[in-house]
Amino acid sequence: MDNQLIDIGVNLMHRSFDQDRDEVVAKALAAGVSPLLLTGTSVRNSEGAARCSNKFPGKLFSTAGIHPHDTRNCTTHIIDKLRQLAKLPQVVAIGECGLDYNRDFSPRDVQRKWFEEQIQLACELEMPLFLHEREAHYDFVRIIKPYIGSMKVVVHCFTGSLHELQVYLQLGFYIGITGWICDERRGKHLRELVKHIPLDRLMLETDAPFLTPRDLPSKPQGGRNEPAFLPHIATTVASCLGITVEVVAESTTRTTKDFFGLNERNM
């Protein structure tokens, strides 16, 4: 496919990419996936994503945040570090942050505290939020609702219910769809739900190295997902919507550039 696509969620600092990070980027660019947005999930990870992005100006950007799994180690000093990172030109959003009541790797009250701190940071810096929510919809909405209108929000890797989707859309949120939609077992409901997402609120992501599309024609070695597989996800989304992949590519690219302000960042 010749159309440009933007992957809004790549965990490129994950150890599975340690041996071939630059090659993974090159394969993505060759597949028409550019730029890539590298997800920050801790201070160390966010710093690494920012450094890596700096090597590929205009091709890689990053986020800076503390994933709910890592909030048990969060402090005010760490929020200050995120604030400094966010001033770098390649850092385009605060996150990945939010709530995860599925794994509970951090206590729920701790998750809630540092989620709100990062919302406040995004408001202060006038930056978008890149959010994670799993089995925590009620608290997630309750915490963020007072801040609606103060920043732009994308709920990354959406896998929830129609009701949850409708609430997020009513709140003005954008929605990130991954290769989960390519899984005929777990992702079947997403094939219907994606039809409810307005094209100008839809973004695409791989969440690499996780969530490898189950129906790839050839299985990647070790099962690792890569941003080069995003065209496959786009094709599946287009099929679900009954439109061409060219329309999906053009719309999601425009939406993503506008949301993250990429046009002003020397692309």
Strands 174-177 and 202-204: parallel
List, in sequence order, every residue forming a beta bridge with 134; answer none if it has no partner.
Answer: 100
What is the identity of the amino acid at 250?
Answer: E
Please tell me the predicted confidence (pLDDT) of residue 267.
47
What average pLDDT score do residues 129-143 get?
A: 97
What average pLDDT score do residues 232-244 get?
A: 98
State how far the Cα of 155 lies from the Cα of 254, in Å rounded to an integer.
Answer: 18
State how far the Cα of 36 lies from the Cα of 40, in Å rounded to an integer.
Answer: 13
pLDDT digit string (tens) for 69-108? 999 999 999 999 999 999 999 999 999 999 999 989 999 9
Please tell me the predicted confidence (pLDDT) of residue 221.
84
Query: 266: which 2 tokens?
Result: 């020397």
pTM over 0.75: yes
Please tell me the predicted confidence (pLDDT) of residue 216.
94
State how far the Cα of 118 lies from the Cα of 112, in Å rounded to an integer.
Answer: 10
CB 94 within 8 A of CB 122: yes
pLDDT digit string (tens) for 172-195? 999 999 999 999 888 899 999 999
Query: 97: which 2 tokens?
Result: 């942050």
What average pLDDT score do residues 127-132 get?
A: 98
Q: Does an H or E element contain 43, and which?
A: helix 43-55
pLDDT digit string (tens) for 17-53? 999 999 999 999 999 999 999 999 999 999 999 999 9
State how far the Cα of 116 lies from the Cα of 121, in Å rounded to an integer.
Answer: 9
Please tell me the predicted confidence (pLDDT) of residue 266.
57
